[in-house]
Amino acid sequence: MKKSVIGPELEKRDAVPPYRESKQAAKLKRKEEREKTTGAGWFNMRAPEMTEELKGDLKALKMRGAMDPKRFYKNDRDGFPKYFQVATVVDSPVDFYHSRVPEKDRKRTMVEELLADAEFRQTNKKKYQQIMTEKAAIGAGKKNKFRK
């Protein structure tokens, strides 16, 4: 009875709804469902809901080349990817004393981890000061050219 067309509000309607949907409507519905996932080749991965935290993490990943000047990362994509997954790394009990991040140092997002990292903040501050002094020097040079 749940799938039945006959319901309590049937008497109020002018026309009886069709028993099954048309081929065109079914085709449209299948196309919309197909666009929501990546397909069977990628295990039907769904597109996640874009929150501010996810956007911040994706921006941090995109700008990771600026974080470590000694490493090169290829950025060949404009914007954010449509399909991706976020995972949590589970620590091994073997590495309890060596390569484990303590509970108090763990953060919810990558951006929070970067902001909590003192060494990263210090290098960013140095880089910012260097850029600002370069801009000031360029600006002072332009002012002197126009005074002549």
Whether pLDDT at 146 is above 70? no
**Angle of CA points 37, 43, 45, to nearest 5°:** 35
- pLDDT given at position 5: 67
Q: Over the stretch 104-138, which tens digit does the pLDDT of each residue have? A: 888 888 889 888 888 888 888 898 999 999 999 98
Q: Is the dihedral of CA 57, 60, 62, 65 positive or negative?
A: negative
Q: Rounded to two decimals, what is the model's pTM?
A: 0.62
